[in-house]
Amino acid sequence: MKNESLVLGRFLLFFMTIALVLFGGNPLVTHAATTAPDTTSPRSITIHAISGEASSQNQLGDNNGSELSTIGQQLLENIRFNAVKVQPIAGQSPVTINPNDPSTYNVVGSVISGTTDSNGTAVLPIGASDANDGYYLVRQATQSGGITTISPFIVQMPYDDTSTNPDGTWVYDVNVYPKLAGSGSKGSDKLIDLGDGTQTNKQSSVFAGGDVTWNLVTVFSPSMRAIQEGSPSPTTVYGSFLLTDQLSDNLVYESISFDVGLQSTTDNTVSAVTSLNFISGTDYTLNTTNNQLTLTLTDAGIDKVLAILPTPVNANQQPVFIPNVTTSVVSDFEYGQIGNSYSTEITNAFGVDLSVSSSNGATPVYPPGSTATPTTTPEVYLGSVQIKKIDSISNSPLAGATFKIALTSEDASANRFIQQDAQGNLYAPGDVPSGLATNDYEATTDAGGIAEFNGLRLTDFTEAGNGTNISQANTTYYLMETVAPTGYGIIGEPIEVQASIDPGTVMSEVENILSGSEIQLPFTGGSGFIIVLLVAGTAIVLAFLIRRKPAKDA
């Protein structure tokens, strides 16, 4: 009877399937034995946590318990697994045990735990005695919103696979390779927006000295934090977040704020935006040395982001974290484009790289006259008005003409001009901060007759035409001449001019007429002609008298 039971048991084990559970895959890792296992070899379960999409089977290797030399997929660290010895209840067998149904088995041992290291590997030591041999229920003990929890599975310990061990030797270190679907999204290169309220994503314009906010949108995964079961209490593991933004020398850092939201993966628009009440030094640190912004989130900051991070409502959305960096344009910037880009070093709690960066690591400033077109790197751009003052007849340049500039013809006529403070910052007439002393923005022609108004705000060209040509940013301004060149009449009405990112292409010539009072023209019957006649007549009389005197003497 005993021999019959032994034969039956071996026959049953021979037909047990060896599998790894990968999101609903086969729950049993076991195999038939052809010889008895020894009683002294150390037993262990080695788990290799792999980042991969959900599938019914793990296609890595032959699922035979052996260690793979090459995996070729992202391995996940900081994932805790528990294993406990179980026995089938009456009426069940190792094949029919349901790992998700405790009513199909009894727990007969203590929990053995292990956490994956930087190589994604966790070793669960079972022991060196055959008293520990049997079936072990393995369960993921780390929970995170960004990593899919695998289904529990059963491993036979020790384990034999005749396909790799034809001599019937047992495998005492059983290697398993569960796949966990994790957030690996790295976003795109179109993740920066300008906070100008236009939702045009890439370009905007301000006056010199004006503020512009760069919305540095970056993917933020719930897997930035993981909670591991443990005794006496769970432990929390965090990822790391570092953002670097090297500002152009033409930008000055002013402030930072933070939002979270949902970004569409189809058109990059952001919705469900919620502000974060971040506290410097507690939730984040920010270094601004040498105009380079280095932002680091603390564990408390990660907690605060995750607490209000919205959940996507469809497959085309991803949760994002948005540092809003406000800068000002230096007051002496004349015209051109100023780019800004950033990079990140983001690793989630499982060691997966989620870093994202804009398409251009530099912060380009396109020089005056550049024909460069906008790229995916966000830019703020400013323009200039250039005029040439000339004589209306000779076209020769005129120095010394002073002009003031206005936004509209009505403003120019009413003497409401663009304002400039002592530092050179420019303001629209209604935008001057209360209490700030300013003067009308004016320029005077030089010896070549040239006057320039730099640092001017241009049209948001992405809202004009098809939004692909920066020449569409050209903006109409109006000049009023307040001082004319010496001897010339003043122009008493607004002069329409064009501001451009390349002002040399739209330079305006302004003609002045020389005042008639400055040129003394002779006229018939005038006093000048009478004087000439008198002088001539006197000379004739004197000559006649001189000629007659010798005749009398004779």
| Strand ranges, E, within 33-187 | 43-48, 50-51, 80-88, 105-107, 112-115, 121-127, 134-140, 142-143, 153-157, 173-176, 179-180
Please provide the average confidence, as pLDDT, over all residues in the chain: 78
For residue 5, give both structure tokens: 């039971």
More confident residue, 291 or 64: 291
Residue 552 pLDDT greater than 60, yes or no: no
Residue 155 pLDDT greater than 60, yes or no: yes
Backbone φ, ψ for residue 365 (5° rounding): -120, 115
User: What pLDDT digit, counting tens, does each position of 434-449 carry?
Assistant: 999 999 999 999 999 9
Predicted pLDDT at 430: 92
Residue 271 pLDDT greater than 90, yes or no: no
Name the percent of the chain lying above pLDDT 70: 70
Regarding whether 457 and 428 lie in a shared domain, the answer is yes
User: What pLDDT digit, counting tens, does each position of 287-312 carry?
Assistant: 999 999 999 999 999 999 999 999 88
More confident residue, 523 or 82: 82
Regarding whether 549 and 448 lie in a shared domain, the answer is no
Mean pLDDT to the nearest integer, 3-10: 42
Regarding whether 440 and 339 lie in a shared domain, the answer is no
Predicted pLDDT at 76: 82
Backbone φ, ψ for residue 427 (5° rounding): -140, 140
Whether 186 is in a domain gets the answer no
Mean pLDDT to the nearest integer, 145-150: 66
The CA distance from 30 to 48, in Å, is 18
Regarding whether 208 and 317 lie in a shared domain, the answer is yes
Predicted pLDDT at 153: 87
Regarding whether 384 and 508 lie in a shared domain, the answer is yes
Predicted pLDDT at 147: 64
> What is the residue-wise DSSP string for 312-326?
PSSTTEEEEEEEEEE
What count of Cα atoms within 13 Å lies in the side-chain half-sphere of residue 307?
Answer: 11
Of the candidates 105, 108, 109, which has an alpha carbon nearest to the alpha carbon of residue 93?
Answer: 105
Residue 381 pLDDT greater than 60, yes or no: yes
Name the percent of the chain lying above pLDDT 90: 38
Contacts of 104 (CB under 8 A, 6+ apart): 88, 89, 92, 96, 97, 98
Regarding whether 415 and 443 lie in a shared domain, the answer is yes
Low-confidence winner among 38-52, 153-167, 236-250 (lowest mean pLDDT): 153-167
More confident residue, 453 or 349: 453
Regarding whether 154 and 207 lie in a shared domain, the answer is no
Regarding whether 394 and 353 lie in a shared domain, the answer is no
SS (H, E, C) 90-122: CCCCCCCCCCCCHHHEEECCCCEEEECCCCCEE
Predicted pLDDT at 535: 61
Predicted pLDDT at 71: 65
For residue 533, give both structure tokens: 């006649």
Whether 126 is in a domain gets the answer yes
